[in-house]
Amino acid sequence: MIEFSVVIFAKPHQEEALLDALTPLVKASRIEQGAIMYDLHSCEDGVFVITEKWESQAALDAHEATPHFKGFQDKAGALVEKVVRLPLVKIG
């Protein structure tokens, strides 16, 4: 199982546009084969966190090849200041 969070920082004044771009990505990703969890959170203005859990690396690789993921990537350059990926390891 693959589990991680992605922290996405919006460029100034792009918070709403980034949320508009993330919403269809999350909706489509949740119903992909191999997706166990794909949740979007906001922790402060302009900072979004996606928590993902996938059955396998193959499922994650397939996700990253989907049109909705690639479409978001195409939009992200104009909307995203910084992305931090945090791998999660269950310890208890």
User: How many angstroms separate the CA atoms of 3 and 60, rounded?
Assistant: 10
Average pLDDT estimate for 3-8: 97
> Residue 45's Cα: distance from chain center in Å?
17
Q: Which residue has the tokens 């931090």?
A: 84
Domain hosting residue 81, numbered range: 2-87
Q: Is residue 63 part of a domain?
A: yes
Domain total of the chain: 1
Q: Is residue 28 part of a domain?
A: yes
How high is the pLDDT of residue 72?
97
Q: Is residue 92 part of a domain?
A: no
How high is the pLDDT of residue 89?
81
How high is the pLDDT of residue 88?
84
We report the CATH number of the domain holding residue 29 as 3.30.70.100
pLDDT grade, residue 91 (50/70/90)? confident
Task: Please say if the pLDDT value at position 64 is more than 80.
Answer: yes
